[in-house]
Amino acid sequence: MFTIEHDFDATVITLVDEGQTHLEEDVTIQAFEECVTVEQYDPRKDEVVKIVLSMGQVRELAAALNLPEGVYRMRPKGERS
């Protein structure tokens, strides 16, 4: 299950792990104009862990989800090999 909320300066997506087996903590993704943050509560440390991705990293992550194993470099639009 997931939720999507539109705040003033960000879109917030929360991923909820549902099921019968070992469940992970909710993941909150906040998409801002200049970056995306991913947060998850770590019960071992009793704190929220946060990572920040640049928009370039987000584009590369999206591309990587649909590619086979290997090493890749994204080219700027319009650039030819």
User: Per-residue pLDDT tens for 24-77?
Assistant: 999 999 999 999 999 999 999 999 999 999 999 999 998 888 888 889 888 777
- What integer pLDDT is reported at residue 3 of this predicted model? 92
- What integer pLDDT is reported at residue 67 of this predicted model? 85
- With a cut of 70, say whether residue 10 has pLDDT above it: yes
Q: What pTM value is reported for the model?
A: 0.80
Task: Please report, as a single letter, which amino acid is at residue 61.
Answer: L
- With a cut of 70, say whether residue 80 has pLDDT above it: no
How far, in Å, CA of 25 to CA of 6, rounded?
A: 22
| Residue ranges covered by each domain of the chain | 2-64
| Residue 55: Cβ within 10 Å count | 13
Encoded tokens for 74: 């994204």
